[in-house]
Amino acid sequence: MPFFPRTANSGPARTGRTGPGPGPWLGREPIEDVIREAAAPGSWLPDTRRVRAVTARLQVFVQERAYDVEVAARARALGDPVRGPALAAVREARYRLGLGPGDGYASAITFARSLGRAAEDLLHHERRLRREEEA
């Protein structure tokens, strides 16, 4: 049975190792690199194991960071111009997280890209909240 049900597609053919496979190294890789890999435009057709590893790392990151950004944004005054966009980014990230990868290889890649963009947005808002706090 293929990795992705109802598609008869188990992902790209393995012609050799193109990079490190999933494993403990993924936890030490800077999140910015994982986000860049997932959210980068252009063709991204990695091994199915890499898609799963990137997705798992992004799911944990988005879940944790959404909470952190939400707490920091809710601590702001209601009229604060940084608060609204940060909370909107949290809602969007949680929505994307709830969608799941669906069936098929293409759907798994789309989900990973979506999580990458959500993680990128959360990171941006977290930094913005910190900058505004320091000022």
| pLDDT at position 98 | 94
Instruction: Give pLDDT, residue 4.
Output: 54
Tell me the mean pLDDT in the region 105-122.
93
What does the pLDDT look like over 60-71, one tens digit per residue?
999 999 999 999
pLDDT of 11: 46
Mean pLDDT of 97-111: 90
- Segment 99-105 shows an average pLDDT of 88
Predicted local confidence at residue 14, as pLDDT? 37
Average pLDDT over residues 11-15: 40
Are 35 and 129 in contact, with CB atoms under 8 Å apart?
no
Nearest to 90 by CA among 128, 134, 39: 128
Instruction: Tell me which of 89 and 16 has the higher pLDDT.
Output: 89
pLDDT in the model for residue 17: 33
Q: Would the pTM count as exceeding 0.85?
A: no
User: CA gyration radius for the chain?
Assistant: 17
Give the Cα separation of 68 and 127 in Å (integer): 11
- CB 11, CB 106: distance < 8 Å: no
